[in-house]
């Protein structure tokens, strides 16, 4: 799984030293070594001059005592001690260091000096640096987990997935990890918290992920994009091939100022950023929640969908609630998608299923037909809707109740899969039936959300990405 890229030393190191390992269970240095000893398959060396052993493993006073034995060092010592540690690393033949310590550029002049010293060592010795001021990275295959938060049995809980995550903020990256990754909201290939990114930056990481065969889609939270041109070039290379969504903070002056003090990065003019990202085929969002919801959508279906209409933006709403149809139609239109009138042959086919008094239209309100003939009308209607040449994607709006036990999941899932068209689903109603519904649709690669806004966001991104892929083929 090594690609010959120097970032391999971070993602797939053969051996690791934890510098600043601690035996004190309240410290991050303990969490680090405990996580690594438990979950990393290669040799792990604790480094701490004050200890003989930690967790039953021999502890070394300095990385210099491990000459030739270590590929990656995880460094969690006070900022002032970091340059010395890096010199030790270089001297011992270490290839790469994840610096998790804070107290660098974000803390003023003294920190800037420290940063310069670290960079000087890197450029002199070839040692690659990740961070500082971050929680590092996670790779699910081969497994490595560097955050300084304790995550027992991380290697068993984190199943290998296809989503790459990049986050500039350490605490958020940790939040993403606990809330979305460890909980199974989606499954990641690699998660990267890049912090102050003084050496390895978002561009290099994105480029690595764009080439990584295990990564099929990427979501990124960034406070700054410094090498804008390079970033866009990588993004353009992914266009239509690997979906990419970006949350770029610091759009307003007050936020840009905060971004500066937080990770010492200058945010670019937001209008320029916005236009450039769009042109490069990047889906831009403005909330973490949206970014994670797109992560789920992309991860469930990273492949482009089959577009049928010339503009590739036609959505049909198949709903058991008239009100849901009305509101989702408003939201689809507002987001720039169209809710086209269905083809004549579709309407004729639906007329045969609907009660006589109900003329079919889009949104397709199937409740009267369900009342008349039961849930079997759901796939019947869906087949005709998916056959419609004006329809590129569908939103399903069922009602969660005991009735879902009779929902024809297999038929609905197969129809959608065979159509090659994009589909997302809202679920509302009795909470007890949400889990089963989501699980069954997930098997067919269909994301389920509890708010319509996320449905529309995901579907829009699906179609945007599929149009980009169509553009590539033209």
Residue 388 Cβ vs its own copies, minimum distance, rounded to whole Å:
15
In angstroms, what is the minimal distance from the CB of 327 to its own copies? 5
Phi/psi for 167 (5° steps) reads -140, 135
Shortest CA distance to 461 belongs to which of 311, 340, 282?
282
**Minimal distance, residue 473 CB to its own copies, in Å:** 30
Complex with its own copies: residue 12 or 31, whichever CB lies closer:
31
Nearer to its own copies, 276 or 331 (CB): 331
302/324 with CB nearer its own copies: 324
Provide, rounded to whole angstroms, the least separation between the CB of residue 318 and its own copies: 13
- Taking the complex as a whole, how short is the minimal distance between the CB of residue 38 and its own copies, in angstroms? 18
Nearer to its own copies, 48 or 135 (CB): 135
Which residues, 6 or more positions from 433, have their beta carbon under 8 angstroms from its beta carbon? 400, 401, 402, 404
Nearest to 136 by CA among 31, 60, 24, 287: 31
Instruction: Read off the tokens for 279.
Output: 């042109």
Q: Answer for the pair 104, 111: CB distance below 8 angstroms, yes or no.
A: yes
Nearest to 99 by CA among 123, 81, 120: 81
CB 41 within 8 A of CB 142: yes
What minimum distance in Å lies between the beta carbon of 224 and its own copies? Answer: 10
Closer by beta carbon to its own copies, 368 or else 445? 368
Quick one: 89 or 222, whose CB is closer to its own copies? 222
75: left (phi over 0), alpha (psi -120 to 50) or beta: beta
CB 367 to its own copies: min, Å: 7
Closer Cβ to its own copies, 202 or 212, answer by number: 202
CB of 404 to its own copies, least distance (A): 12
Cβ–Cβ under 8 Å, residues 250 and 298: no
- Closer CB to its own copies, residue 55 or residue 403? 403
* CA nearest to 150, candidates 188, 127, 177: 177
- CA dist 117 and 210 (Å) reads 31
- Residue the block writes with tokens 């992920």: 209
Q: Are 2 and 118 in contact (CB under 8 A)?
A: no
Q: DSSP character for 343?
A: P
Q: Closest Cα to residue 469, out of 289, 225, 302?
A: 302
Please report how close the Cβ of residue 347 comes to its own copies at its closest, in angstroms. 13
CB closer to its own copies, 257 vs 306: 257
CB distance 192 to 167 below 8 Å: yes
Q: Alpha-carbon distance 277 to 336, whole Å?
A: 18
How many Cα atoms occupy the beta-carbon half-sphere of 408 within 13 Å? 16
State in angstroms the smallest separation of the CB of 453 from its own copies: 5
The C-alpha angle with vertex 100 and arms to 79 and 192, in degrees rounded to 5, equals: 150
CB nearer to its own copies: give 243 or 325. 325
């Amino acid at each position: 799984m090594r690609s010959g890229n120097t970032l391999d030393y971070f993602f797939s190191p053969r051996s690791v030293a934890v510098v600043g390992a601690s035996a004190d269970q309240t410290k991050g240095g303990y969490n680090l070594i405990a996580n690594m000893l438990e979950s990393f398959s290669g040799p792990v060396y604790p480094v701490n001059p004050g200890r003989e052993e930690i967790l039953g493993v021999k502890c070394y006073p300095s990385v210099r005592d491990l000459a030739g034995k270590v590929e990656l060092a995880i460094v969690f010592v006070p900022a002032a001690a970091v340059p010395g540690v890096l010199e030790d690393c270089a001297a011992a033949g270490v290839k790469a260091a994840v610096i998790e310590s804070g107290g660098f550029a974000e803390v003023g002049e003294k920190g800037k000096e420290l940063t310069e010293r670290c960079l000087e060592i890197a450029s002199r010795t070839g040692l690659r640096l990740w961070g500082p001021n971050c929680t590092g990275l996670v790779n699910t295959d081969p497994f490595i987990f560097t955050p300084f938060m304790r995550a027992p049995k991380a290697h068993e809980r984190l199943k290998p997935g296809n989503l790459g995550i990049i986050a500039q903020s350490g605490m958020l990256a940790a939040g993403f990890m606990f809330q979305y990754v460890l909980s199974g909201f989606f499954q990641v290939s690699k998660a990267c918290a890049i912090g102050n990114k003084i050496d390895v930056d978002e561009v290099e990481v994105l480029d690595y992920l764009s080439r990584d065969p295990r990564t099929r889609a990427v979501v990124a939270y960034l406070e700054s994009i410094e090498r804008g041109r390079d970033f866009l070039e990588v993004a353009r290379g992914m266009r239509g091939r690997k979906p990419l969504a970006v949350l770029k903070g610091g759009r307003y002056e007050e936020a840009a100022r905060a971004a500066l003090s937080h990770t010492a990065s200058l945010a670019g003019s937001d209008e320029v950023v916005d236009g450039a990202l769009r042109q490069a085929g990047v889906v831009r969002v403005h909330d973490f929640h949206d970014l994670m919801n797109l992560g789920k959508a992309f991860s469930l279906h990273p492949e482009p969908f089959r577009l049928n209409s010339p503009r590739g933006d036609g959505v049909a709403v198949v709903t058991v609630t008239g009100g849901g149809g009305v509101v989702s139609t408003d939201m689809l239109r507002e987001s720039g998608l169209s809710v086209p009138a269905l083809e004549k042959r579709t309407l004729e086919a639906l007329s045969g299923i609907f009660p006589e008094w109900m003329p079919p239209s889009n949104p397709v309100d199937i409740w009267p037909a369900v009342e008349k003939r039961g849930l079997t009308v759901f796939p019947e209607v869906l087949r005709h809707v998916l056959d419609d040449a004006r329809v590129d994607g569908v939103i399903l709006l069922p009602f969660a109740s005991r009735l879902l036990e009779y929902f024809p999941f297999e038929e609905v899932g197969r129809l959608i899969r065979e159509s090659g068209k994009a589909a997302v689903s809202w679920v509302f109603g009795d909470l007890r039936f949400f889990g089963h519904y989501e699980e069954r649709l997930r098997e067919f690669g269909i994301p389920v959300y509890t708010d319509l806004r996320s449905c529309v966001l995901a579907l829009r991104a699906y179609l945007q990405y599929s149009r980009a892929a169509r553009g590539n083929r033209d």
